[in-house]
Amino acid sequence: MPKRNPSESKSPRQSFRARYDALEQRREDLIARLGDLGEKAQANPAHARARKLLNETFRGASLVQRAAVLEAASWLITVLDRSMTLL
């Protein structure tokens, strides 16, 4: 086997700060999306849970877990949005 340079085979990895900033931006986008649902959606318990995911749970999670928390919040907001359009 020919000698390989180990740095050539690795994909460029984002810095911690870049990943952190990307997650924060995504969180802000989801908070805005949740706010755009209107007053009718605020009466739904899923709205409060989505807010809790985006605030308390997100802040208490590690960087890796934050991505999963945002996925869960995104799914919940989508379900809430679809349920509002059906009513």
pLDDT at 17: 94
Q: Which pLDDT score is estimated for 85? A: 84
- Burial string for 11-41 (b: 16+ CB within 10 Å, else e) reads eeeeeeeeeeeebeebbeebbebbeebeeeb
Q: What are phi and psi of 29, to 5 degrees?
A: -65, -40
In this predicted model, what pLDDT tens digit does every residue of 37-87 receive, in sequence order?
Answer: 988 899 999 999 999 999 999 999 999 999 999 999 999 999 999 998 876
Report which residue type is found at 59. R
The full set of domain ranges for the chain reads: 17-86
Determine the Cα–Cα distance for residues 49 and 53; give it in Å rounded to an integer. Answer: 6
